[in-house]
Amino acid sequence: MKTPPPRTPDGRYLVVRGRLWRMADPRLPDAQRQQAVRALMAARRAVGLARRRGDREALARAGAAVDAAKRQLGERGPVWWDDGAPDYNRHLARNTPYAAWYAGLAVDAATGRGS
């Protein structure tokens, strides 16, 4: 069973290969979140199909659909939190205020000790 990627203590990001990726807005109603996830998955399938076919126009449309779904989820566009904290989406965790927290994860993984 694969271990899920770590999430920042404030729940705003998950970390994949050292990079922060914004989480979906946890305040979204379940039905709205499910609809956006379905749209995102369909758009990602369309991206793959367009790439396999070499269809640039379809790839552009599918990419726009991925972006729209991610914006619906709150993973792109304006941040969903309201405390004025900046957005570190796509930044390396080590170059953000999450650096010490992230470094602690690496130490724990290397030593096998809990935090």
pLDDT for 109: 53
pLDDT for 40: 98
- 52 exposed, middle or buried (CB, 10 Å; 0-12, 13-18, 19+)? exposed
pTM of model > 0.75: yes
Has residue 9 got a pLDDT over 90?
yes
Residues 75-100: pLDDT tens digits? 999 999 999 999 999 999 999 999 99
Q: Give the model's confidence band at 112: pLDDT under 50 very low, under 70 low, under 90 confident, else very high.
A: very low
Task: Please give the backbone phi and psi of residue 5, each rounded to the nearest 5 degrees, phi first.
Answer: -65, 150
pLDDT for 108: 56
Residues 50-71: pLDDT tens digits? 999 999 999 999 999 999 999 9
Residues near 86 by beta carbon (within 8 Å), at least 6 away in sequence: none
> With left for phi above 0 and alpha for psi between -120 and 50, is residue 11 left, alpha or beta?
left
